[in-house]
Amino acid sequence: MQLFAVGPGEVGFFASGPMASGVFAVGQHATGVFALGQIATGAIALGQVSTGLIAIGQLARGGIAVGQLAIGLAAIGQFAVGVAWAGGIGIGGTRGFGLVLGLFPSTSIQSARATLRWRWNRLRGIPHDRPVTEPPPSWRIPAATGATAGLLLLWWYIAGQALLDATR
């Protein structure tokens, strides 16, 4: 591997060119640990169509995705689909800021936190009163679990397989 690679399809630590591949890659179809380009693929990808563990761009997909149309495990964007969390405008397992439909209601999350804290304190021998929480409707948790599984499946077909292919 070269230290500096410039040209189409060249591989180097610092790579630049239309099909750049390297640790730091800049180009139209950049692939690398840090990739910057129109179609960027890498651990940290910045580009119009970016795929990576951290992806930032118009069509971002990956673990943490930020962009106009973002799909990720955690996503922020104009239309964000986040399996665990979403912010901006979109849908997610839990709700961040903006106009987000959170599949699991915040009361359920706060109730689960209070119950876990109570159980943890009991294990350590700290006296604490059991939290009194109002349970959500009986249909809400199974529906949210099924919808989140659907989001995970959607994420896998759009981003997960692409991330798996990028690591091979």
76 close to 163: Cβ distance less than 8 angstroms = no
Taking each continuous run of H as one helix and of E as one strand, the counts in the chain are 3, 8
Identify whether the C-beta of residue 52 lies closer than 8 Å to the C-beta of residue 45. yes
- Whether this model's pTM surpasses 0.85: no
pLDDT tier for residue 48 given thresholds of 50, 70 and 90: very high
pLDDT per residue over 90-141, tens digit each?
A: 999 888 888 888 888 776 677 777 888 888 888 888 877 777 777 667 788 8
Coil vs helix vs strand at 166: helix
Tens-digit pLDDT profile for residues 15-41: 888 888 888 999 888 888 999 999 999
The total number of residues shown for the chain amounts to: 168
